[in-house]
Amino acid sequence: MTSERKFSEMDSLESFDIISEEEVKEFRAALEEGNLCAAGETINQSLKDIENAPLNIAVTGESGSGKSTFVNAIRNMDNDEEEGAAKTGVTETTKEPKAYPHPQYNNVTFWDLPGIGTPNFNPSDYLKAVEFHRYDFFIIMSSERFRHNDMELAKEIKSMGKKFYFVRSKVDSDMYASQMRRKKSYNEAKIMNEIRDDCIKCLHDGGIQDPKVFLLSSLDLNKYDFNQMQETLEQELPSQKRHVFMLCLPNISFPILDKKREAIKKQIWKWSSVSAAVAAVPLPGLSVACDVGILVTEMKKYRDAFGLDQGSLEKLADRFGKDVNELKSVIKSPIVVKEINKELVTTLLTRGAAGSLMFIEYLASNIPVIGTAAAGGISFGTTYLMLYCFLKDIAEDAVRVLEKALESSV
C-alpha cells in the first residue's frame, strides 16, 4: 500500500468508493446529539450490536435428508472427524435439538433438529419441543420429494410468523444417476429445472403458496443453487443479522467473496468515526493507540473472513487437492502472510503518513461534515484509508486464491 497508489486512487471518485450521502447524514445526526465523543460511543455501540447479533438457524427434515451434512458444510467442515462436526449417518442420528456454533463466529449457531418422518408427527408439538422461538428461520430439507410432514411443518411455521426455506439435497446423486441413464442426451440445466418444477408442484399441491426451493449438494456447496439461497436469505434477514450471516459463509464462490467485501466496506466509516472520537479526547498518545488497536483488530477480522489465515488456507488446499504454498503464491499483500500485530501496523502507518495527509485533505473537500470533527479528522482519515486499502488488497487476494484452488491440475 504505497503512497503513490493511494494518490492515484484519490484521483477519481469512481475508483475510490467514498462515504455515501446516507452515511454522512448518519454521522452528522450522531454529532448533533452531542459532542464527538458521544457520537463515537453511539457508533461504537452500533458496531457491537451488529457484530454480536445472535443468529440461530434451524435445519430440519426427515431422517436421511442430509441435515447434519449440510450443517457441517455450511460451517466449512469437510468431514465428520473435524472437532465440533455434526454426526452424520444413514439412520437418524439426531434425537433432540443439537447446537453447532460456527467455528469463527460464536454468535452464529446452526441447529440440527430431530427428524420429522414419524407416522404420528404433529407439527405443533414438534415446534414446541424444539423451542420454536429461538430460531431466526427454518431450512426444511429433503433428499427426494417433499412429503406431507414437510408441508405441514411449513404451514405451522408460517402461522407462527417465521420464515422457512425448502432445500432439495443430494442433487449431485440425481445428476450422476441421470448422466448414467442419459449418456447422449444428458443436460444438467434441464434436469435441474425438472427437479425444481417437480418440487414446486408437489408443494403447491400440498397447500404451500410461492415456495422457495433451493437445489443443493452439501458435498459441493459451490454448485447448483447455493448462491441463490444465500442471496435470498441476505435480502430477507434483518440488517444486523444479515451482516454476520454474510461473514460466516464459506468462501466457496466469487459472489460470496464480493458480498463479504461489500458487507465489510459498509462498516469502515463507523470504525473511522470511533477513531476520530477518541482523537478528540485531549490525552497525549490516546488517539494513536486507538488507531493501531482498531486497525489490528479489524485487519485480523478481514483476513479471517476471507479465509486467508493459515488454517483456512490449509483446509482449502486439502479440499481441492492443492499444496498450501501453491495457494499462498498468488497472495500479493505482504501483510496477509505476516503476523498482524501493533508493530506491523505502526510501521504501515508511518510509511503511509504522507498519503494519509493527502487523503484527509481529500475528505475535507468532499465531506464537509468531517471538518466539524477537527481534532478527529486526521484520525478518521488515516483509519479509513488504511482499512479501505487493506480490504481492497485482501479481497483481491481472496479471489486469486479461490481461482488457484479451482484451477484444474491437468
Check: CB of residue 261 under 8 Å from CB of residue 395.
Answer: yes
Mean pLDDT of the chain: 77
The region of weakest confidence among 29-33, 119-123, 301-305 is 29-33
pLDDT > 70 in the chain, percent: 74
Q: What is this structure's pTM?
A: 0.78
Relative orientation angle of helices 353-366 and 342-351, to the nearest 10 degrees: 70
Check: CB of residue 342 under 8 Å from CB of residue 292.
Answer: yes
Residue 24 CA to residue 291 CA, distance in Å, equals: 21
C-alpha cell at 303: 483476513
Domain boundaries, the chain: 3-33+251-406, 55-248
pLDDT > 90 in the chain, percent: 16
Q: Give the model confidence (pLDDT) of 12-53 as tens digits.
A: 333 344 445 565 566 666 555 555 555 556 666 667 777 778
Q: Count Cβ neighbours within 10 Å for each residue of 187-212 and write b for 16 or more, e otherwise.
A: eeeebbeebbeebbebbeebebeebb
* Arch. (CATH architecture) of 55-248: 3-Layer(aba) Sandwich (3.40)
DSSP code string of 220-253 = -TTSTTHHHHHHHHHHHS-HHHHHHHHHHS-S-S
HSE, CB side, 13 Å, CA atoms: give it for residue 104.
24
C-alpha cell at 241: 443479522
Residue 132, judged by CB atoms within 10 A of its CB (0-12, 13-18, 19+), counts as middle
Q: Which pLDDT score, from 0 to 100, does residue 397 have? A: 93
Write the CB contacts of 124 (distance below 8 Å, at least 6 apart in sequence): 156
Q: Which pLDDT score, from 0 to 100, does residue 8 have? A: 41
Residue 374 has pLDDT above 80, yes or no: no
Q: Which pLDDT score, from 0 to 100, does residue 240 have? A: 74
Query: What mean pLDDT is predicted for residues 302-317?
Result: 88
For residue 384, the tally of other CB atoms under 10 A from its CB is: 24
C-alpha cell at 348: 504501515
The region of weakest confidence among 54-58, 176-180, 326-330 is 176-180
Q: Give the model confidence (pLDDT) of 226-257 as tens digits.
A: 888 888 888 888 877 888 888 888 888 898 89
Q: Comparing C-alpha atoms, which of 253, 256, 251 is closest to residue 316?
A: 251
C-alpha cell at 171: 442433487
Give the amino acid at 242. R
Q: Give the model confidence (pLDDT) of 251-261 as tens digits.
A: 888 988 999 99
Q: Comparing C-alpha atoms, which of 328, 272, 370, 295 is closest to residue 1?
A: 295
Query: What mean pLDDT is predicted for residues 196-214?
Result: 90
C-alpha cell at 230: 444465500
Relative orientation angle of helices 374-406 and 286-305, to the nearest 10 degrees: 20
Residue 124 has pLDDT above 50, yes or no: yes
Q: Comparing C-alpha atoms, which of 19, 6, 8, 13 is closest to residue 353?
A: 6
Phi, psi dihedral angles at 60 (to 5 degrees)? -135, 175
Phi, psi dihedral angles at 115 (to 5 degrees)? -65, 155
- Give me the torsion for CA of 322, 328, 330, 331, rounded to 10°: 150
Residue 247 CA to residue 260 CA, distance in Å, equals: 6
Check: CB of residue 299 under 8 Å from CB of residue 339.
Answer: no
Phi, psi dihedral angles at 150 (to 5 degrees)? -60, -45
Q: In this structure, what DSSP letter does residue 29 have?
A: H
